[in-house]
Every structure is written in C-alpha cells, then in structure tokens.
Structure 1
Amino acid sequence: MEQQIKGNAWALLPFAIFILLFIGSGILTGDFYKMPVLVALFIAIAVALMMNRKTDFQTKITQLTEGGGHPNIILMVVIFLLAGAFAKVAEGVGAVDSTVNLGLSFLPGSLLIVGLFVIACFISVSMGTSVGTIVALAPVGLGIAEQTDVNVALTMGAVISGAMFGDNLSVISDTTIAAVRTQGTEMKEKFRANFFIVLPAAIITAIIFFILTADASSAMQNEHPYNLIKVLPYLAVLLFAIAGVNVIYVLLGGILFAGIVGLILGEISMMDYITLIGDGFVSMQNLAMIAILLGGLVELIKQNGGIEFLLQSISKRINNDRGGELGIAGLVSTVNFSTANNTIAIITAGPLAKQISDRFDIAPRRSASMLDIFGSTVQGLIPYGAQMLAVAGVASISPIAVVPYCFYPMLIGISGLLAIAFRFPRFTITKKD
C-alpha cells in the first residue's frame, strides 16, 4: 500500500527558487537569457535533494530519475526531437519559404495571422497535442514574421493560442482524456460543456489578431515565389493530423516526405539530409533536457509534500458549489504552475476535484471542463512550459516576450471565470440537470 504523503509548504521552496532565478533575474537585469534555464533547474534540484533528511540520498536520486523518466516526459522528448528534425529538413529543402510565400500570395496581410491561428486550431484539434502543433507551425510563423512587418512574438502567440485550442477540446488530447477519466464522465458530454464556454474566447482571439495585423500588408514585397511541390510536406502533415494519425507517425512521415522532395528536386544530397536530421535533434536537446529535469524536480517536490500541501490548502476553503468550481479551477491552476505540465496537473488534481464535485453536486462534465480549461490557461501562459519554450527556441526570442500575445489562453481563463460566476451554460451545472 502506498504511503500517504503529508503536506509540507517548505517542499515548494525549490520551485520558488527556480522561478526567482529564471524570471526574477530577467526582470532585474532586463535580459531573460542572463540566467540559463538549465542552471536555474540544477540549483533548484540541488536544494530539493538537500531537503527531507528522513529520506536517504539514494532514494531521492531515484525519485528524481523516476520523475524525469515519466512516460509523458519521455514521449514529450521524443516529439521534441522528431519535430526539430522535421523543422530542419523542411527548412533545408525550402518547404518553409514556399509555404509562407504561398500564404502571402493568396491571403491579404490582414488575414495571415488570423489564418495561422485558425490553422493551428484545426491541426491541434486533429492531432490532440499542442506541442506537436507548435513545433510544426512555429517555423511557418517565423517565416511570416520575417517577410512582413508583424512582430515575431505576436506570430508565436498566434501559434500557441491555436495549439491550446485543440489541447483543450480535442477528443484525443491527453489532457482531455485525463479530465474525463478522473471525473467519470463521457467525452462527448465534456466536449459539449467545454465548447460553449471557450467558443467566444476563440472568436474574440481571431478578432484581436485581425485588429493587431490589419495593416501588415504595408511591408510586404510584391512577389512571393513558391514551389507547390515543396509545400507538400506541410500539406501531408496537415492531412495526416486531420485524419487523427498519431503525432509520432505524423512527424516521422513528414521527415521522410520532406527528404524525398528535397532529394528529387536536387535541393539536398543524402548526406545533407542526414546532417539536417542530426541538426534538428541537436536544436531540441536543450529543450529535452529542460523537460526531463523539470519532471524530476516536480517528483521531488511531490515526494516532499509540496503538491499535497497545495491540494489541502485550496480544498479546505471550499463551502458551496460555486466555491467548489472555483476550488477546482484553483487546484489545477496552482498544480500546473508547479509542474509546468497540464496533463500531470489534471491527473494530480483530478481525484480531489472529483470529491469536490460529488460533495457539492457539480456535474462531472462541468468539473472535467473546469480542469481542462484552467489547465490550458496556465499551460499556455507560463514562460517555462514546453509550449512557450518550444516557440521561443524556434524564434530565438525570450519566452517572456511571447506571453502578452497568447490571447486565447488568457481569454479561456476569463471565460471560465465568467461561466462560474453566471452559471453558464445552464445545462452543465449540476448532476440533476
């Protein structure tokens, strides 16, 4: 039988140190690259390892490695590596330039970013993964920014916004599956309840991007040469994603197809192809290590009682059904801030959220929606999350610069709070309904 972990506020100290070093140093110096993320993580891990003297050092090392080796973490690392390889091969054969120029040729500048957001929404719903969507579309977003006067941080914000749309709604998203399973509801019921809450946020997001980029055409060139054959790798990735193919197969197929196109057109040699794949892997190594070490840090914090403390602190302040919904929102948000992974946050907070929903007669579809909505809100805004780090790595900018343009994650959080305050939509509120 698994031993019950006691809540301990001090267990959160390593995470506080990580945030202070990563974000605090950037605020103080004005340079968010001053403190490398890996260095901040290592310092936080060192502090976590020195805590909890009742546990021997070897056990704590085991906890660290088990956390870093969690199946979700390793899967994320594999996706990062494959995505990096696809991005480099697609860039090397000219697929990115042709894809961007195709869009520039047929869409007015005022609709490019809106189109990028909508495409990201479509792909993320189909693929069920925000990270996979981001690493596939971020190079296209960067290309659009380079050939227009649109701020690169804004284009990355559009990619993240669209990616989080699918992360929150896709029936094959791991976050959606986790929310449904922990609350004991049906996928279609959760989707229906969730959709009516977040749809206004998606529409408003598209309007905001349109307003901000209405004059984007002023800096465009008159001609944008493209080769339709070079666009095919991205088109194939899109079609396979829509078909619901596993993201690993999608990326592997994209790497292979982009290479074949490049070889046929004479853009690259076989050795160039292999080198590009290797360069793509290397480009994602830093991000992969961050994911692994952050997973290890979270496990140490959990074993030392930090996560349990957060759960207890929030749950004991709940005394009615509206408070129950706010409590569920606060639970998953706080845990997500601490773990930087909304799937893990939902799995962690889910059982307690189920207890709260049962106690205050909150419909399972409603509690599942609250878990997923607020998990996606936090995940789409934290600068140390996989999504933000991925776009920042592609665009070579600070993740902090992208946060102000992540309108959809902000708006679904607001929509969620309004839904709680005004009991909307009515059919989702209680089990009796």
Structure 2
Amino acid sequence: MKENHLKNQEDIEVPFYLAIIPMIIMVGVMAVTIIKFEGSPHVPLFVGAGVAAFIAWKLGYRWDVIEEGAYNGIRLALPAILIIIMVGMTIGSWIGGGIVATMIYYGLKIITPSLFLVSICVICAIVSLAIGSSWSTMGTIGVAGMGIGISMGIPAPMVAGAIISGSYFGDKMSPLSDTTNLAAGITGTDLFAHIRHMFYTTIPGIVLALAVYFFLGRKFAGASINAEEINGVLKALQENFVISPWLLLVPLAVILLVVKKVPAVPALGAGIFLGWMCHAFVQGNPLAEAVNTLHDGFAIETGNKLVDDLFNRGGIGDMMYTVSLAIIAMTFGGIMERTGMLKAIVGQILKFARSAGSLIAATIASAFFTNATASEQYVSILLPGRMYANAYREKKLHSKNLSRALEDGGTITSALVPWNTCGVFILATLSVHPFAYAPYAIMNYSVPIIAMIMAFLGWKVEFMTEEQVKELEEKEARQTGTA
C-alpha cells in the first residue's frame, strides 16, 4: 500500500457540511418510504449507510476501515438483540400460560363510568406492561375503549389521549418492550437499571395524567356504560384460558428479581421458564405446543376479534423486524461514528450544550427532532443514542442518563407527530387525529418537560466514578475486539 498523508486514517477530518449529507438523504428517503409508500425504515437506513460509506471512501478512508465501523456498530447492538429475542419468547410464554389473559381479565373488571378515563388509562398501562407493546394495546383494548367511551358521551380526543398515555407508560416501563430494550442496549445500560432510572421522570408524568383524567372525568360520572364489548372480551378469556390470580405470581417474581438487581438475561430467563410451565401444566397444553410457541408465537381463534388480535403474537419470529432494524441502524451509526461524521455533527451541537443539563436537554430535543424528521420511533432512539455516547462519557455521565433521555424524548413523543409511523398508526386505529388528541395525551408531552427541568436542576443526574469509567472502557474494548 502506498504511503501517503492518509496513512493514519484517524487524522482525516470530515467537514460538517459533508457529515450531515448522509443524515439528510436518509431522512428524505425515510419520509418518502414511510409516508408515501407506507414502507419500513430498513431500506432508508441502508441507503444512509451507503451514502456515508461513499463519502468516507471519497475522503480517503479505506474500505476495511469503513467495514470495521459497520461491524463494530453491530457488535455494540448484540446485547440488546439477545434480550429482544428473549422478550419475544417471554411474550409467547406469558400469553400461552394465561398470564396476560389474567392481567387483562382483572384489569377490565375495574372499569366504572365515574372513573372511565382513569380506568382505561390504567388498564392500557397494565396490558402494555404485560405485553411490552403500545401498538398492540391501542389496537385491541384501545379500540374497545374508544367505543365504550364514545357511547358514554366522552369526546373521542379525550378518550384517545387517556388510552395513549396508558399504553405508552406501559411500553416505556416494560422489560418486554422493544424500544426499552433498544434504548438500554444501544447505550450499554443494564435493562433494569434503565427502567429504574426512568421512574423519576415517568411516574410524575403518569400521576399528572391520571389527576387530569380524574378531574375531566367527573362530569361524565352519570353516564351509562355499554358493557357488551367488555363482556365479550371477558367471556372469550374465560372460555379459552384458565384465569387465576395465582398466575400473577409470575410477573411478580420477575418484578422481585428486578428489585433484587438480577441482570436482565437471567431475570427474563426465569420469566420464560415460569411462563412455559404455566402454558404446559396450568393451561394443560401439549409440551410440543408450549415449546413451539417460544419460537413461532402464540396462536388462537376465539371468535372475538379484539382477543385474537391481542393474543396472536410473541415468539422469536415476532422480534425479527426489530432485530433486523437494529442491525441496519447500527451499521449506519457505526460507519458514521468510525469515520468521524457523528463527531462532526455532535461537535456543532455541543457548542450550545456545555453543561450536563444542557447535554441531556439536547439529547431529548434531538430524539424528538428525529421523530419529526425520520418519522420513525426506533430511529429516534438508535441514532441519537450513538451520536451522544462519547459526549456523555467525556462528561462522566452514567449511560442510564442517556438511555432515559432517549426514551423521554423519543419513545413517547412519536405519538405526537402526525406523519410519524406511530401517529399514522394511531390515526388509523383510533380514528382521532394526533393534533386532536395531543392536548389529552398528557404523559407523552409532560415527561420530556419534566426530564428537561430535572436535567437543568441536576436532580437525579448521575455521574460515573473513575472505576466505572475504566470498567466501561474495558467492556467496550472487549465488545469491539480491541482488548
């Protein structure tokens, strides 16, 4: 190889105007693909990776260096991918074991006309916590809730706001949620440490939402309720599952492991095993079916569309969309990071974010901006997660500050953007425009505000010790194969 001034590839500086080109092209292709063609974000991200690789090559980066960046990005996502696969197995085993059915059954029992908005928010939160999916919750329980609420004379935007707040609370706080696992995995944060750290911003948000729903719901206290849809769901659950409060011991066991700070993999492994045992021995299904459900997901035909839509899911196969998206996004992020493009972009932003508080606020704002431009919830976590990782380390901020900021600014604000995949899904599912329900989706906009206030006040902003910094460097060196 000829010796020239590019021998040390670390010396190549990428101008900001070139570094931003892959992002602009990716966002443009993403907008057309998702909004016009209703496609997935995979191809736009791959296009972005290709553009980034081409620019880096033209600037003098060798292909082996570019390729190394892509592979290193994927390696960093491997812990998250393992957990996401285990989450699919957990969902399948918990549905098959009747655990999810039991949680929904007792949740639906608490609905009363005087507390409908509070009740539907709590029920959606419980279901979303149980299955880790806001979309599935809104598409099933949410649809039923819209019909019930409107029949009671409650405005549709108000009902939709309560459903969305509850669904996204559960999605955000559930160890089964793909976005929760992505945020933790992409930042190298322990899953349950990430969830515990989110309590400080998310709990005040949901409490505020419930208080407002309680106040708004008082004038509907005298309304009558059409219980036909609820009774139909309850009947379908009773006919197809063994419903028992004893089954609630399974999620309680996993919660106990979380409290005891057991790592995510063994904690989820215990949940999978207990769910599988319930599937085989409590529900009385064949062992072969219980095993196959872990891969293929649960399948059922009850005759009730809401129940069928909610329960036909789970398994390893159900997670492959998220796994493939994480791999492609990390390929894009890895190339951008290895070739100095992310550094050039972040450098411009950090001129205005010098303190820890302003850095966290910038992360939240960037995640929301990505939601509004890339139109995809996952991308709002993956790209800012890699963009700001080094900045957090340089300020010795613990990675769970970054993972929490990604969720506070990315996961829940996606529902507020009409052209985001989440906004489009909600409009199609609940038949309420995002601009109409946004004022009532209280948790979704209050949490980012609370998080920014906390960041500037320095409350619950945790720094790393020198020992933790050293451990992090050693861990990343092992993951990238440079140790």
TM-score between the two structures when normalised by the length of structure 2: 0.61
**Paired residues for 1:290-369 under 5 Å:** 290-317=325-352, 325-326=357-358, 329-330=361-362, 333-334=365-366, 337=370, 340-341=381-382, 344=386, 346-351=388-393, 353=395
Q: 2:23 aligns with which of 15, 26, 30?
A: 15
Conserved 8 A contact 2:94-2:100? yes
The 3 A distance-change label for structure 1 pair 83 and 112 is farther
Deviations 1:145-200 (A, max 9, x none): 36543788964652433554699xx9xx959x989xxxxxxx9xx979x94x7765
CA-CA distance at 1:389 after TM superposition: 8.8
Deviations 1:71-92 (A, max 9, x none): xx11211121111122123223
- 2: CA distance, partners of 1:216 / 1:208: 21
- 2: CA distance, partners of 1:309 / 1:141: 40
Deviations 1:101-149 (A, max 9, x none): 111124544433432576699x7xxxxxxxxx87378766765336543
Give the letter aligned to residue 312 of structure 1.
G
- 1: CA distance, partners of 2:74 / 2:161: 30
Conserved 8 A contact 1:328-1:353? no
Conserved 8 A contact 2:363-2:405? no
CA-CA distance at 1:36 after TM superposition: 2.2
Tell me the residue number matched to 1:128. Answer: none
2:50 is the alignment partner of 1:41: no
Tell me the residue number matched to 1:377. Answer: 408
2:80 is the alignment partner of 1:76: yes
- 1: CA distance, partners of 2:173 / 2:323: 24
- 2: CA distance, partners of 1:269 / 1:427: 49
Tell me the residue number matched to 2:281. Answer: 264
Conserved 8 A contact 1:48-1:297? yes
1:160 is paired with a residue whose SS is helix
Deviates more, 1:9-18 or 1:333-342: 333-342
1:20 is paired with a residue whose SS is helix
CA-CA distance at 1:243 after TM superposition: 3.9
The 3 A distance-change label for structure 1 pair 417 and 262 is closer
2:56 is the alignment partner of 1:59: no
1:149 is paired with a residue whose SS is helix
Deviations 1:53-84 (A, max 9, x none): 211223212211110121xx112111211111
Structure 1, unmatched stretches of 5+, are: 124-132, 180-186, 355-363, 429-433
Deviations 1:394-432 (A, max 9, x none): xx979xx99958643522322345568xx758999xxxx
- 1: CA distance, partners of 2:224 / 2:333: 42
2:262 is the alignment partner of 1:221: no
- 1: CA distance, partners of 2:117 / 2:408: 26
Give the letter aligned to residue 115 of structure 1.
V
- 1: CA distance, partners of 2:320 / 2:161: 22
Calculate percent identity across the aligned residue pairs: 14
2:108 is the alignment partner of 1:111: no
1:45 is paired with a residue whose SS is helix
Conserved 8 A contact 2:96-2:275? no
Structure 2, unmatched stretches of 5+, are: 1-7, 148-158, 297-314, 371-378, 462-483
Deviations 1:199-242 (A, max 9, x none): 65343233356558978954543473551155443443344334
Which has the larger Rg? 2
Conserved 8 A contact 2:111-2:119? yes
Tell me the residue number matched to 1:361. Answer: none
- 2: CA distance, partners of 1:424 / 1:237: 33
Deviates more, 1:216-225 or 1:14-23: 216-225
Conserved 8 A contact 1:332-1:345? no
Conserved 8 A contact 2:380-2:411? no
CA-CA distance at 1:344 after TM superposition: 4.2
Give the letter aligned to residue 237 of structure 1.
V
The 3 A distance-change label for structure 1 pair 118 and 6 is same
Tell me the residue number matched to 1:99. Answer: 103
The 3 A distance-change label for structure 1 pair 115 and 155 is same
Give the letter aligned to residue 270 of structure 1.
L
- 2: CA distance, partners of 1:266 / 1:203: 36
- 2: CA distance, partners of 1:216 / 1:13: 57
2:143 is the alignment partner of 1:135: no
Conserved 8 A contact 2:280-2:286? yes
Tell me the residue number matched to 1:149. Answer: 146
- 2: CA distance, partners of 1:335 / 1:139: 23
2:132 is paired with a residue whose SS is helix
Conserved 8 A contact 1:117-1:206? no
Q: 1:251 aligns with which of 268, 272, 276?
A: 268
- 2: CA distance, partners of 1:66 / 1:147: 45
TM-score between the two structures when normalised by the length of structure 1: 0.67
Conserved 8 A contact 2:69-2:335? yes
Conserved 8 A contact 1:332-1:375? yes
Conserved 8 A contact 1:82-1:281? yes
The alignment of Structure 1 onto Structure 2 pairs a total of residues equal to 374
The 3 A distance-change label for structure 1 pair 247 and 55 is same
2:146 is paired with a residue whose SS is coil
CA-CA distance at 1:253 after TM superposition: 1.8
CA-CA distance at 1:346 after TM superposition: 5.0
